[in-house]
């Protein structure tokens, strides 16, 4: 059985980075993500360093472009990695945008350095179509003789546009033994806007499985649009702004899609005239790329396009670009209480333009914070979500802010599979894995999913070894 080493994402929800050892001399790396929230060390620079041996890494495979899966990529390249970076075709378009932003925030603002780095990245990216095997050059032993053959295949994960889960097929040249390993990346949930739901692979020997919602069930996602509409209407009744912390890629586009639907179907003038403000230059750039990648949208979204609708580019949508515009928008909305929906990053309130809205509006009961995604332990988002309904406070940039604004959470918009979906991912395989590594989840989520998986196997008379770091 091939060994898998976790360099992040094994004991928490962020920092995903998994190394598959093919032999003593060669390996594959799946993702290289940033640690965030409680997973981030006090000495974050130290944590960012690539301290494992990369001389054996034949290729890096990227499951999707969220920062907790790609944020350490600049450090990997700085450490000397020159191999191929394998990803889906949509991810290849999105990755340079994400990395440019990551470089500016945590690495350098030197334009020449960023340009040079981006050119290097473009050289190393190898985009592959979904569902097709891609051969990695034959694995060699220390004498240069062929030790085995490795192929990888990407399949739609339904998490964000371009997201994939990874199948790795390895065959030992000497013994002829074969092994199939699947890395789930982040799996999406059914009924997600724009994206088809993931379909399970035929089977595998080992499965590295995310467990973000391993202890939770989402409410009926088919009702989520009505829940979103009701939550927004309740907030607007107070005559204020609805602040929606959302990641620039994935969640922002899904929300725009849903809001366009509500506005299209609404009869009230309030909705018809409501401003939807995306205050994130990065989100605006991603949304434009999403529009370019229409062939990867699901059937429902394709049907809307054919009927002449524009789900990601409608009349009520406004974007805020410059920092000066951003400051003016914050000040105007905070003072006037004009009804509007503001979507801004970051999704966990751990930075980005949403922070200025929170500072200006958390203390005013007219306004509302609407959470539509997972809030990691140790992030300001989790604190607002937890203490806001009790009239508590949150520390932002070392300053205390009392929470008088309303706080609402809608879980139906999670981009992650819930416990049932994760179990179904295994259950729907024809050949179930004998070993499952649980990653990308808090300890309680991993423990609950481990227990459910063991019961599932027991009821089918099968054996499984479920591994979960403590």
Instruction: Write a three-state SS string for 133-161.
Output: CEEEEEEECCCCCEEEEEEEEEEECCCCC
Rounded to whole angstroms, the Cα distance separating 144 from 17 reads: 28
Q: Which tokens go with 213?
A: 């919602």
User: Any idea what the CATH number is for the domain that residue 463 is in?
Assistant: 3.60.15.10
Q: Are residues 407 and 427 in the same domain?
A: no
Structural domain boundaries enclosing 237: 221-413
What is the longest distance spanned by two Cα atoms in the chain? 75
Which among 91, 73, 93 is positioned nearest to 83, based on CA atoms?
Answer: 73
Residue-level pLDDT at 43: 43
CB neighbour class for 256 (10 Å; exposed up to 12, middle 13-18, buried from 19): buried
Residue-level pLDDT at 87: 98
Rounded to whole angstroms, the Cα distance separating 32 from 18 reads: 8
Rounded to whole angstroms, the Cα distance separating 91 from 38 reads: 27
Q: Are residues 369 and 460 in the same domain?
A: no
Residue-level pLDDT at 248: 84
Q: Are residues 207 and 254 in the same domain?
A: no
Q: Are residues 41 and 175 in the same domain?
A: yes
Q: Are residues 103 and 187 in the same domain?
A: yes
DSSP secondary structure, 196-250, as one string: PPP---SB-SEEEEE-TBTT-----GGGHHHHHHHHHHHHHHTTSEEEEE--TTT
Q: Are residues 303 and 385 in the same domain?
A: yes
Query: Which one of 396, 413, 430 terminates a domain?
Result: 413
Residue-level pLDDT at 235: 78
Q: Are residues 243 and 372 in the same domain?
A: yes
Q: Are residues 203 and 139 in the same domain?
A: yes
Rounded to whole angstroms, the Cα distance separating 429 from 436 reads: 13
Q: Are residues 159 and 268 in the same domain?
A: no
As for how many domains the chain has, the answer is: 2
Distance of CA 323 to the CA centre of its chain: 26
Residue 150: CA atoms inside 13 Å, Cβ hemisphere, count?
A: 22
User: Which residues of the chain carry a pLDDT beneath 70?
Assistant: 37-48, 105-107, 138-145, 221, 470
* 200 in Cβ contact with 431 (< 8 Å): no
Q: Are residues 90 and 234 in the same domain?
A: no
CA torsion angle for 269, 273, 278, 284 (degrees, to 10)? 110
Residue-level pLDDT at 38: 63
CB neighbour class for 295 (10 Å; exposed up to 12, middle 13-18, buried from 19): exposed
The pair phi, psi for residue 350, each rounded to 5°, is -100, 20
User: Any idea what the CATH number is for the domain that residue 392 is in?
Assistant: 3.40.50.10890
Q: Are residues 88 and 202 in the same domain?
A: yes
Query: Which one of 390, 413, 436 terminates a domain?
Result: 413
Q: Are residues 259 and 399 in the same domain?
A: yes
* 390 in Cβ contact with 199 (< 8 Å): no
């Amino acid at each position: 059985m091939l060994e898998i080493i976790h360099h992040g994402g094994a004991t928490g929800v962020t920092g995903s980075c998994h190394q598959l050892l093919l032999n003593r001399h060669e390996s594959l790396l799946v993702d290289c993500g940033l640690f965030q929230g409680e997973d981030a060390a006090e000495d974050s620079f130290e944590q960012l360093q690539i301290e494992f041996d990369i001389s054996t890494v034949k290729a890096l495979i990227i499951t999707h472009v969220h920062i907790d899966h790609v944020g350490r990529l600049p450090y990997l390249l700085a450490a000397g990695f020159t191999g191929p970076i394998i990803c889906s075709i949509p991810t290849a378009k999105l990755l340079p945008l994400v990395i440019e932003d990551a470089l500016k925030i945590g690495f350098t603002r030197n334009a020449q350095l960023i340009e040079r780095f981006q050119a290097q990245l473009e050289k190393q990216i190898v985009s592959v179509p979904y569902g097709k095997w891609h051969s990695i050059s034959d694995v060699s032993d220390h004498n240069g003789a062929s030790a085995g053959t490795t192929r990888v295949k990407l399949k739609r994960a339904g998490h964000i546009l371009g997201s994939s889960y990874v199948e790795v097929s390895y065959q030992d040249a000497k013994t002829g033994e074969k092994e199939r390993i699947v890395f789930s990346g982040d799996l999406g949930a059914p009924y997600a806007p724009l994206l088809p739901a993931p379909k399970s692979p035929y089977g595998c020997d080992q499965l590295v499985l995310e467990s973000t919602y391993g202890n939770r069930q989402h409410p009926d996602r088919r009702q989520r649009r009505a829940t979103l509409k009701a939550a927004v209407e309740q907030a607007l009744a107070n005559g204020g702004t609805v602040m929606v912390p959302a990641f620039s890629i994935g969640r922002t586009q899904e929300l725009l899609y849903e809001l366009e639907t509500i506005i299209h179907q609404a009869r009230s003038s309030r909705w018809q005239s409501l401003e939807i403000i995306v205050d994130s230059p990065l989100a605006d750039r991603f949304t434009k790329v999403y529009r370019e990648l229409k062939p990867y949208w699901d059937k429902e979204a394709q049907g809307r396009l054919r009927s002449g609708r524009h789900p990601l580019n409608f009349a009520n949508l406004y974007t805020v670009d410059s920092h000066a515009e951003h400051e003016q928008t914050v000040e105007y909305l905070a003072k006037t209480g004009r009804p509007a929906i503001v979507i801004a990053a970051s999704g966990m309130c751990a930075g980005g333009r949403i922070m200025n809205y929170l500072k200006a509006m958390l203390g005013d009961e007219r306004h509302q914070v609407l959470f539509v995604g997972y809030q990691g332990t140790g992030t300001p988002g989790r604190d607002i979500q937890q203490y806001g309904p009790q009239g508590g406070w949150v520390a932002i940039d070392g300053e205390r802010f009392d929470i008088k604004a309303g706080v609402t959470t809608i879980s139906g918009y999670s981009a992650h599979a819930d416990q049932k979906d994760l179990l179904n991912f295994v259950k729907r395989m024809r050949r179930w894995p004998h070993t499952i590594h649980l990653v990308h989840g808090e300890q309680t989520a991993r423990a609950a999913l481990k227990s459910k998986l063991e019961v599932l196997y027991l009821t089918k008379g099968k054996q499984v070894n479920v591994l979960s770091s403590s």
